[in-house]
Structure 1
């Protein structure tokens, strides 16, 4: 396993970090708790030392699962990357969207990052995780109703209190990054990035490279599209958010699978699946520090982790990129 430093921090997460959104079940058609715990532990056994979670994932379920999974492990050997700023139990801030919890109850999600909310969220997260500190605390989404100064000063206070080690953000553009860095030393920006979603290369990547900020790429497999396991007519479980996304139309699944077929010989020559090769390409891109890879069972987790045991040469990365340039998805 390879490990990379986040910004100018002392945190060195594995290049493949466990993404615990799907483990929480919410918006993924459910999940088995035992399978999720086994997945996290299997990842750890293969060198994955970092787990990314959030209170909103299953409305606390993902954090509880992470807490149970790491119980008994040396706390200083596990990095908890957590988030704040999405409330399902408070109507305040920017309205995000309506959803259903894991029990099928209607909930409204708000993006809110006021100081009192952050302090409360942190206490609740520490309790669910069964720990007394969070390694990286990240605002989940920008909140236009709260000044960035207020938000970042609240995180700075948590750092002073020892409840948080380092501050990060998620889904911030360059202007928001510039403002946030005035009030707390940031080490990272977590943003969506995959072979078929590369818009951050235009501005966010250069900014982060220039300012020693790490990029945590989430959804590098584009929620399963790039695994090669999707087929035309793909059906999703009730509550699975992918059902309405353009990425998963029959046409786009066909086009993506055709691309994956072209790079399959390279994957096979290295003993990799197409999905593993996709992860390796992702972490080889300029500015990308780590990739968050989700898993809902032990087998998926092991496959993700084992990808990092192999490396790509610059020529191999370029050959994949050449084929990728021919892939055009239909919106």
Structure 2
């Protein structure tokens, strides 16, 4: 495994980080808790020491699962990355979405990052996780109803109290990062990025490189699309966010699979799966510090961690980039 410090925070994370969104079941069609705990343990055994979660993943369930897994892991060797600012229990702030919990009950989710809300969320997360500190505390989404300086002052207070080691954000634009920096030093920005979704390369990546901020990317396998296992016209269960997604139309899946077939021989020369090759390519891109990868069972977790078992040469990365360049106009 490879590790990287987040800025100068002293928080050192594994470049493959366990993403526990799917483990919480929300928008993924449910979960099996024992499998999820086993997946975290299997990841740790292969050097994946960092776990990314959030309260809204399963309305607390994902954090509880991570807390259960933590009971038998050495806390000082595990980095817990969680978030704040998406509330399903409070109708305040900016309306984000109408959704359902894992039991099918309707919910409204709001983006809210007011001072008192953050303090409460941190206490709730610490309780669910069964720990007394969070290694990286991230604002899940920007909240246009709360001044950024109010949000950052609240996180600064939590750092002073020793409840948080380092502060990050998620889904922030460059302008929002610059505004936040006036109040609090941020070490990271967590954003979506994959072979078929590369818009951050235009502005977020250059800014983070110049200002020593780690980029943590989520959905590097594009919700499973880049594993090569999705077939055109494949149906997903009710509540699965891939239903109706523009990258999962039959035409888009056909295009992506054609790309994957071109790079499949390279994966085979590395004795790797397509997914592992995609993760290795992702981590070779400028500014990308961490790839967050989900797993719902130990087998998937092991496959993800083994993406670090090989390297890509400059020529191999260039070959993949040329295949991607041919795909881009149609995507």
TM-score, normalising length: structure 2:
0.99
Equivalence for 1:92: 92
Q: Show the counterpart of 2:142.
A: 142
CA distance in 2, matches of 1:237, 1:295: 18
Q: Does 1:103 align with 2:90?
A: no
**2:14 aligns to what SS in structure 1?**
coil
Contact 1:251/1:330, CA 8 A, preserved across alignment: no
**Cα-to-partner distance string for 1:92-136 (whole Å, 9 max, x where unaligned):** 000001000001000000000000000000000000000000000
Q: Which runs of 5+ in 2 are unaligned?
A: none
Residue 329 of structure 1, CA deviation: 7.5
Question: What pairs with 1:117-266 in structure 2 (closer than 5 Å)?
Answer: 117-266=117-266
Q: CA deviation at 1:142?
A: 0.2
- Partners of 2:11 and 2:165 within 8 A in 1: no
Could you give the per-residue CA deviations for residues 229-264 of structure 1, whole angstroms, max 9, x where no partner exists? 000121111110111101111111111111001001
1:241 partner SS: coil
The alpha-carbon deviation at position 309 of structure 1 amounts to 1.5
Q: How does 1:312-331 map onto structure 2 within 5 Å?
A: 312-328=312-328
Local SS of the residue matching 1:186: coil
Relative to the length of structure 1, the TM-score reads 0.99
CA distance in 2, matches of 1:315, 1:5: 28
**Alpha-carbon separation, structure 2, partners of 1:205 and 1:233:** 34
- Say if 2:215 and 2:288, in contact at 8 Å, map to a contact too: yes
CA-to-aligned-CA distance 1:265-320 (integer Å, 9 cap, x gap): 11000010011000000000000001000111111110000101211111111111
Asked whether the 8 Å contact 2:93–2:143 carries over to 1, the reply is yes
SS in 2 for 1:303: helix
* Partner deviation per Cα, 1:7-40 (whole Å, 9 max, x = no partner): 1221111111000000000000111111111111
The answer as to whether partners of 1:58 and 1:102 remain within 8 angstroms in 2 is: yes
How far residue 71 of structure 1 moved from its aligned partner, in angstroms, is 0.8
Q: Supply the RMSD in Å over aligned alpha carbons.
A: 0.9
3-state SS of paired residue (1:51): strand
Question: In the aligned structure 1, how far is the partner of 2:71 from the partner of 2:309?
Answer: 26
Q: Residues 19-38 of structure 1 correspond to what in structure 2 (within 5 A)?
A: 19-38=19-38
C-alpha displacement at 1:330, in angstroms? 5.7
Distance in 2 (CA, whole Å) between partners of 1:67 and 1:154 is: 24
In the alignment, the residues of structure 2 paired with residue 154 and residue 222 of structure 1 have an alpha-carbon distance, to the nearest angstrom, of: 33
Match of 1:9 in 2: 9
Mapped to 1, the partners of 2:70 and 2:90 lie a distance apart of 29
Give the 3 Å change call, closer, same or farther, for CA 329–31 of structure 1 in structure 2.
farther
- The aligned residue for residue 51 of structure 2 is 51
Q: Is 1:247–1:329's contact at 8 Å kept on the other side of the alignment?
A: no
| CA distance in 2: counterparts of 1:328 and 1:293, whole angstroms | 24
Runs of 4+ off more than 3 Å: 328-331
Partner of 1:169, secondary structure, is: strand
Change (3 A) 1:329 1:302: farther
Matched position secondary structure for 2:31: coil
- Displacement of 1:72 in angstroms is 2.1
Distance in 2 (CA, whole Å) between partners of 1:6 and 1:311 is 22
